[in-house]
Each structure stands twice: as structure tokens, then as C-alpha cells.
Amino acid sequence: MRKIHRCRSCGSAQLVSFLELGKLPQGLIPAQHLGVLEGRVPIELGLCQRCALVQQMIATRSPFSELEDFAYFGLGSAQDLQQLVEELDLGEGNVVLELGNPLAELRSKLQQSTVKVRGVENLSRDYTQHHPKVHLILAHNTLAETDDPGGFVAAIALALHEDGVALFESPYIRYLIEGREFDTLHPQHRSYFSVTSIQTLLLRHGLRLFRLERHPTRPGLLRFYASKTRPAEPSVYRYLELERRLGMSGLAFYQEFASRVASAREALLALLLELRAKGRRIAAYGASARAVLMLNYVGLGREVVEYVVDPDPFKQGLYVPGVHLPVFSPEHALVSRPDYLLILAWDYAQRIIEQQAEFTRLGGKFIVPLPHPEIVGPAVEEAVGVKR
């Protein structure tokens, strides 16, 4: 584990830190590891003032790559992929390559197609020298996780056919900042791309953006379409112009985000402490890696939050490291009946509230922590300083 002093993308030494969350634990642990094996990883973001890439300042290999937050997410439905193949007019002899995806899944999505399909874990120079050029490369949730984005894109450019298309999916830094989503800042995500920074990276390797799309089911992700020859569509110019107007290549924009992260932390903690002072009981919903970060960064130990519930049976019986909160099934909340459930999987808050209708029927309320703390539930009458 070491601090980096040069940009992962362009190699510049103009790398400036703007946000530190401190050393935070990762993942869930069994009871016997409490106070013994609770490894912490520093979370610190910096901005490259040369190429505008936001990135983790600490070089570390996270041992928690199997957590669902970092799992592979493909293009989506077979229909999505088939439409893309048809739009690109791919047919017999054309090659589709998906990075990080089991080949069988890609074949199942294109079972009615005549294109050749391949799936590889890592795209190396050796691979590109021994295989034909690829007409469509799908790189989902991989570019943000590599320590060498330049080498990654260079290999894609080498493998891509002159008329081919590369599709990247990656967390988009503007969406993260707008939602104050500090709980997504995990070591597994090395880079947080803006359109400006990914365009700069692509151009260095002979590629360019020609289309941008917001992911249809994962709100924080953006789809970046790149090629060697295709002209840019209006979406590229719209995003670039908005980033220019917002000042997203400058340090001040990100320093303001750091200030808002601190404010969000203080607002949530103040609300929960106020409720506890009134004798209200609080539990939390969701035991993902994001939840572990949220609970530890805000400092929500058992004096504030009694326990966590999660529907995943593999998480039940484990503990949140750092704050040492036990994880139970959601049914536990119906028996224990806390006054509030803090929704740590807050981007799915509406779905969770609908699923927990019985908790609501029993008089329970919910707290959505971001982007602003908000109490949701029947007949909210308590005078607390939050948005409703």
C-alpha cells in the first residue's frame, strides 16, 4: 500500500489531493475476527490537473473484489446487445469481444447471431497479435478498476478493427458529485472519469468518443462509445460543454464536493443523534460494501444504530467491521421494531420501502441518508431538522 504521486492515466506529477475519508474497513467479518482482523484501507481522492482524471491516491490491492458492489455488470438484456450488433451491422465473420465476462453468457445473449463471440479476463498485447481484429469490444466496469488505464486503452485500440466500436461502462464523476455519493468511493475503483478525462485518454491512443448514454438501470454509470473513425454525436458535445461550464477540469470544483461530503456527514449524524436523544431506536437496512463505508465514515456505532438487516442469507450472522454492528434478516426488524430504518442502500430506497410494507404498517419510518437526510414514513410529525 503506497501513495501515488503521478497520474495513473497520463503520468503527470500534477496530482493534487482534495478529499480524504480516512482509513476505513472493507467488507463484512465473522464474530471471531472482531477487534482482530479488521484491516483498514485509506480512501483519498486526487485530481490530475493535466488530464482532469479523478483517482484514488493510494495504490492498493483490495482483497474484497468479490463483493457485489464490484461484481461484473454486463450490457444488460440480450435485446440491448442485439440492437447494438444490428446498429453496427455486424454479421458473419465479425468478432465481438467482452472483457471480464464468462464466454457462455455472451454466447447466450447472441445465440441467434452469426457473429463470432469471445470473452477474456485481460486483453494483452499477446492476445491482439494472435487474434483477428475485433469489431465490437465491451468493457463493463473494468476501465475504472485498472491501475493502468493507458495500457488498458492502448490494448483495446490495438485489438479494435478500423471500423470497430469499443463500449465502456464506468461510474461518472458528475453523477457521483451531484448525489454526494461518497459511499461509492471504494479502493476497487481506481479512477472516476469525466467525459473530458476519458476523451483525453482515448485520443492519446487513436480513439475518440462518438456517443454517450446514461445506463438504463444503474443511475451512477455512463456508457462511453469510442471508435477510430466515427464522428461525434451531439451527446458528446453536450456533456463536454456542461463539464466546461461547471469547471470540472479545475481543482475548485472538487474541493467544493469535499466540503459538501463533510456537510452531508454532519447533517446525517446530527439527525440520528437528535432522534436518539428523544429515545427513538434506529436500525439500518443494507450490508453492502457501501454500507460499511457509510457507517464507519459517519461514525455510527451501536450507541446510534443497533444493528443492520439484509435479505442476503450469506451476510446474516456476520458483522460490520469498525462499528461492530451485527447483521440480521429483515424479519428481525419486524420483531425488534425499531422506530427507524436507515436505508444504506439508499439508491434503491423506493424499492426497499415498498418491500418493507409490513414495517411501515407497524408504524416504522425510514431515513434516506443521501444526497440530503430525509425521513420517509407515515405521519411524520417529529420536529427534526431534515428535508421531508
pLDDT, tens digit, for every residue of 38-71?
888 999 999 999 999 999 998 876 433 332 333 3
Dmax over CA atoms of the chain, in Å, equals: 69
- Angle at the Cα of 303 (from 297 to 306), degrees rounded to 5? 90
Q: Could you tell me if 310 and 289 are in contact, meaning their C-beta atoms sit under 8 angstroms apart?
A: no
pTM reported for the whole predicted model = 0.85
194-204 residue pLDDT tens: 999 999 999 99
d(CA 99, CA 141): 9
DSSP letter at 196?
Answer: H
Question: What's the sign of the alpha-carbon dihedral 282, 286, 287, 290?
Answer: negative
Measured CA to CA in angstroms, residue 46 lies from 43, 150, 185, 251, 252 at distances of 10, 18, 12, 9, 12
d(CA 292, CA 286): 9
pLDDT of residue 382: 46
pLDDT of residue 121: 58
pLDDT along the chain (388 residues), means of 10: 91 96 92 86 96 91 36 47 73 72 49 56 64 83 88 90 91 94 89 97 97 85 94 97 97 97 96 97 96 97 97 96 97 97 94 95 95 79 44
Percentage of the chain beyond pLDDT 70 is: 82
Q: Give, rounded to a whole angstrom, the gap between the first and last alpha carbons of the chain.
A: 43
Q: Which amino acid is at 220?
A: G
- Angle at the Cα of 247 (from 244 to 251), degrees rounded to 5? 140
d(CA 248, CA 242): 9
